[in-house]
A and B are shown apart, each in its own frame.
Chain A
């Protein structure tokens, strides 16, 4: 197990990158703590798989270094880095039995036979595949195959990190939960550093201690699920995390006054002078929908276009002065014909050129 340091890392698939846009992965400096579970979250093509392949050694970065503890491993091959990787589609050795699959990485490393047997039988117990040990891997179901790919990493006690590249893509929905829970338990049991690439926010938020959100080759925020929800550092994080995503509207800020959709609110925070494109964001969870009397002076007229019932909540979609606003309300709330939106002003976030600006109390 190791702490993984990314030192001024950047990657371009072009031989001679000219501008920032040529980089599939823009510069990143970060330390992945030993034994933590991370999720790399972002839409397709945001560079998360590139980053994963650089960490695993399948790709050599055009700039910067990768360090495992204090060792520079930038130019080492995957086998020399001693990592394990689980791919999007289950990769198993078809003609081998389940047992032989699990023993394969150990045998290749010249581990003694008795030790191999011991670890394989242990792993079969952990993965609950004992009764299928002698079966050919070819005939198993997708989730069992994916367990085997994971097991091939776990049998090596000393792996520095286990990397997952959207490992649940081909798994049936009802098995996804089960596998994810099992993965979480394995993490608690073995304490391997785990890095999990996904574009599914539920997967990322439930699996990881820390989520790394990527957008267009850039890491836009690294934080706990709570941090991503409460204080998205980039408007993209606001959109991407949460369902529906954060309401982002053009606005203006003057000291402690925030203008949002042509309505001004006083905050208990002070902002410095801001230039550039200013936007204000608020999560749908912090928008209340009421009638005129309850709303009082804080209310903003809301033109409701639709109400979706999603079980215990309702999603109210509407607009304020032509800007779209979503609100999440309890299922028993009645949406009045003449509705008003009330914003929880303590939850307003201010963005300058898409990046969060924190005010001073």
Chain B
């Protein structure tokens, strides 16, 4: 049977289309526009085609920054996800300590990025910072301003301190939603603690973990404020991530064309990786399409 067609229905979509157009599509188109043209000021534009794209894609500056981003996000996910799960598992499920733990966990999330950056910047300074002084008194050489490993460690600790709570809270919400009967059944079936985690807790946390991984990935891949406040991308270029490089290029050097091309590429990379995470994690533990059995 054919469905009656009524194109008037499209009018209902119009308001949303307008809003999305103004808020997302038009700004994005401006960037697309810049990315395929060259300008020398005076509002004069010359067609550049894919020139900027190939320039960005083949520049070692972009490769290095992208590599730093991938490494950073990888390290962040590798630390925060297991740590978040572990903390969520060890949090109490009932009693007066529940609100205490939840509030403690929520506190870091309430602090703005640049404040977190400033806190750690001061905290880690070798001359006046508590951490920096203590470390140097103990004979540990630590200086994020001159040593790139120290700078990385500081930014990672900053991010872990700031955002592990988010993973904890998400996992915790997944854990408390598991009915008691599952644990009882597992005891009766003689399951070990590890098997309870592997076959009950982890599968039940799958959905919230997906959200946690996506949020933490996107956020860490877009990291800007923390390295900017700490060292402004240094020492050298060691903490110059894509976002920092992009700002340098667009606002520092006014290379609008390459910066626009880089923005588009940056955006597509995040989109692609999120899609990969989403597909992999939602298909994990789900039946493959049924095969005919002979």
Contacts and interface: CB of A to CB of B under 8 A. Distances in A.
A105 B189 contact: yes
B181 A108 contact: no
A104 B195 CA distance: 10
Interface residues of A, number: 27
Interface in A68-97: 77-79, 83-85, 87-89, 91, 93-96
Nearest to B199: A93
Contacts of B195: 108
B287 A136 contact: yes
Contacts of A94: 203-204, 285
Contact of B190 (A87, A105, A138): A105
B254 interface: no
A78 B191 contact: no
A75 to B, nearest CB: 15
A5 interface: no
B185 interface: yes
A266 interface: no
Secondary structure class of chain B's binding surface, majority of residues: helix
B179 interface: yes
Contacts of B1: none
A180 interface: no
Contacts of B286: 136, 138
Interface in B191-212: 191-192, 195, 199-200, 203-204
A95 B182 contact: no
A91 B181 contact: yes
B190 A91 contact: no
Contacts of B199: 93, 95-96, 104
A135 interface: yes
Nearest to A77: B187
Contact of A108 (B179, B191, B200, B287): B191
A79 B190 contact: yes
B188 interface: yes
Given A79-B190, A93-B200, A108-B191, A87 B285 contact: no
A238 B184 CA distance: 35
Contact of B189 (A58, A138, A139, A152): A152
Contacts of B179: 89, 91
Contacts of B188: 56, 78-79, 83-85, 105, 153
A136 B199 CA distance: 13
A235 interface: no
B200 A58 contact: no
A136 B285 contact: yes
A174 interface: no
A109 interface: yes
Contacts of B204: 94
Contacts of A50: none
A108 B190 contact: yes
A221 interface: no
B190 A85 contact: no
A152 B184 CA distance: 13
B191 A104 contact: yes
A306 to B, nearest CB: 42
Interface string A290-318: 00000000000000000000000000000
Nearest to B284: A95
A108 B192 contact: yes
A193 interface: no
B287 A135 contact: yes
Given A58-B184, A89-B181, A93-B200, 17 more contacts: A79-B187, A79-B190, A84-B188, A85-B185, A85-B188, A87-B185, A89-B179, A91-B185, A104-B189, A104-B191, A108-B191, A136-B285, A136-B287, A138-B286, A138-B287, A139-B287, A153-B188
10 contacts: A58-B184, A78-B184, A79-B187, A87-B184, A91-B184, A95-B199, A95-B285, A138-B285, A138-B287, A153-B188
Interface of B: 179, 181-182, 184-185, 187-192, 195, 199-200, 203-204, 285-287
The 5 closest A-B pairs by CB, nearest first: A108-B190, A91-B185, A105-B189, A87-B181, A95-B285
